[in-house]
Structure formats: C-alpha cells, structure tokens
Amino acid sequence: MEKLEPYTASMGRVLRAQRNQKGFSQEELAHRVGLDRTYISLLERGLRLPTLGTLVKLSGALDIPPEDFVAELGRPYKVD
C-alpha cells in the first residue's frame, strides 16, 4: 500500500498556495466551506487529509475544479 505522507504534505502546500492566491485567511476559507479554522490549519500543515467531499467544497470555495486541484498535487509549490 502506498504511503499517504507525501500526499498530505502536497495537499497542504497546494491548499495554502491557492488560499493565498485568492487572498483568503484560513478563517475566511473555513467559513466558506463550513469547517473549523483549525481543520484548515491541520490540512495546510499536512497533518490531515480531506475526504473527497471536503476536497470538492474546498475546490469550490477556491474557484478551481476538483480535478485541477488534484492535478496540482504532483507539481512543486512555493509557499509564501
């Protein structure tokens, strides 16, 4: 079975980069998707991996198609 650690870290980098690009705080993004701000922080730090439903909600709030969001997981990201 493939380890998930690289994906959780990559997910966090993509989420943070997309959130920053939109100019959202963690709190604002959390409010838009109905999640707690601390959960957004856990995702961004690579400590949690979202469910598919959460990924779709995050993608919608960030105005990026879910399939494009997932495609970004394999690309290098510079985190601000």
Set out the domains of the chain in order of their start, with CATH numbers. Answer: 5-69 (1.10.260.40)
The token pair at 7 is 């994906």
In the block, which residue shows the tokens 């709030």? Answer: 61
What gap in Å lies between CA 46 and CA 62, rounded to an integer? 18
Amino acid present at 61: A
Looking at residue 15, the DSSP 8-state letter turns out to be: H
Angle at 70 between CA 5 and CA 23, to 5 degrees: 95
pTM (predicted TM-score): 0.86
Mapped onto helix, strand or coil, the DSSP state of residue 76 is: coil
Q: What is the pLDDT along the chain (80 residues), one digit of tens a residue?
A: 467 677 788 999 999 999 999 999 999 999 999 999 999 999 999 999 999 999 999 999 999 999 999 998 876 555 54
Amino acid present at 80: D
